[in-house]
Amino acid sequence: MADEHDPGSGQENDSASILYVYEFLFTDGSKKSFEVKLDYDTLNIVTQARASYPSWTALEFCQCPNCPLSVAENPNCPVAQGMVHLIDFFKDIPDQDHVLVQVRSKRRTIAKESTLQKGLSALMGLVMASSGCPILGRMKPMVETHLPFATADETIYRFLAMYLVAQYFAYRRGELADWDLEELINYFEEVRTVNVSFCRRLKAIDHEGATIRAVALLEDMADFTGFLIQSDELGRLENIFNMSMEPPRR
């Protein structure tokens, strides 16, 4: 068992940051680790600036049509900039059915045999939400309770919980709260646009590896969650809450 202050990489979490370590163990015995360091207060990713970035990371390169950023202030796409090291490593590695992925943090270690696509999807989702993208950044509260390899039910619950807590805080500030989840459906469309555009960015550099399929998996999950909410297919979850709120029988 890892030490309470050791995420497993030999580095301690300092009080101002949160560290996740994703380790991929391949069937040929090789392994590769990626560290994601987050600022404790903002949950923004902490990265070391590179001397230069590849041209495909430029904001204008396949820029998302709903992107609110300007080239003058943000020459590079935050998501692309945060993913350079992942794309560089996995660009020539095909998807694999059997990969052992270990995710270590100060809080816990999670290990799962899975496909490379699913392991990458969990890592990329963490990086994308904390990258500084103003659209995906609205999901940063989910980073606080990062859950690799979440099931569809778990993801739906966490999305709803995140959104409704945000509405509660809006209500406390005296703002209009979206208790009917109408804006959440619109937000899923915004996320889908970003995911589709990022896949287009990767295809434009002739990249067809596991990373594209990992982004597509995130897109599918967002679409599925949005569909369930829009079609009011939350009956099982509603029944569980209704039963839990029933007064005790005397």
> Strand (E) positions, 16-156?
17-25, 31-39, 99-104, 109-114
Token pair of 113 as six digits:
């045999």
What are the pLDDT tens digits along the chain (250 aa)?
233 334 444 344 466 899 999 999 998 899 999 999 999 999 999 987 788 899 999 999 999 999 999 999 999 999 999 988 888 888 777 777 789 999 999 989 999 998 888 888 889 899 999 999 999 999 999 998 899 988 888 888 888 899 999 999 999 999 999 998 888 888 888 988 998 888 888 888 766 666 666 676 666 666 655 655 655 667 777 787 777 766 666 6
CA dist 155 and 225 (Å) reads 8
CA distances to 8, 126, 132, 154 from 142, rounded to whole Å, are 22, 9, 15, 12
Cα Rg of the chain, angstroms:
19
Whole-angstrom Cα distance, residue 234 to residue 79? 32
Phi-psi region of 132 (alpha: psi -120 to 50; beta: other; left: phi over 0): left
The single residue listed with the structure tokens 């989702």 is 125
Spatial separation of the C-alpha atoms in residues 25 and 100, rounded to whole Å: 5
What letters, b where the CB count within 10 A reaches 16 and e where it falls short, cover 92-122?
eeebbeebebbbbbbeeeeeeebbbbbbbbb
Quote the pTM value: 0.82
Distance between CA atoms of 208 and 202, rounded to whole angstroms? 7
The neighbour count for residue 57, using CB atoms within 10 Å, is 22
Asked whether the CA dihedral 79, 81, 86, 90 is positive or negative, the reply is: positive
